[in-house]
Amino acid sequence: GVGRVRRRESLWVRPRSWVEEWTPYVLEVIRTTLWVMQWIAVVVVVLATLTCAAAFMYGMAYMTFVPNKLMCRPLHMDYTTTPPVASIDVHAPDYPRSVHPTNFFVPGIGYAFRVHLVLPESPVNQQLGMFMVQMQLLSLEGRPLAVVARPCVLHYKSKLLQYLSTTVFSL
């Protein structure tokens, strides 16, 4: 090599700026963050879908297996006996044909019964004071299956409050 000029490498290297130095690390952090956010979004969508599906299936099972028969009838007291008696026949013919007397109450299922009495607040009823309400659930043969008794009393109203409510409700 007579005519060749050897290029000399410089020992001095140009210092890199902080942007050039940190750019690969920042890009890697951004890529990792996007990947994590993508998986979080997937997990949230899957959990939301599973929750909605579970709620729908619970609702369908509830509507399929839980009975929703409701009986609301007036009670009329028979004052010819002592104590006065009222009874309701759940096998009355005014129920829909799908409700047969043998399947109105299913054995093994709990039922809730509620008696709502509306009594006149007359002086006679106020003087009677506390009284007992007894409810019996009878079988088709007439023998008692369940008996419950609860004490009841009219709510106390002063003479002034009775007068005011009578006056207001009479208008």
Lookup result for tokens 């890199």:
16
Lookup result for tokens 């028969």:
69
Provide the percentage of residues in the chain whose pLDDT is more than 70. Answer: 78
Write the pLDDT tens digit of every residue in 71-119: 677 778 888 888 788 887 766 555 555 545 555 666 777 777 778 888 8
Distance CA 113, CA 138 (A): 13
The reported pTM is 0.46
Who has greater pLDDT, 76 or 35?
35
The yes-or-no verdict on residue 24 having pLDDT over 80 is yes
CB neighbours (10 Å) of residue 101?
A: 13
Cβ–Cβ < 8 Å for 130, 151: yes
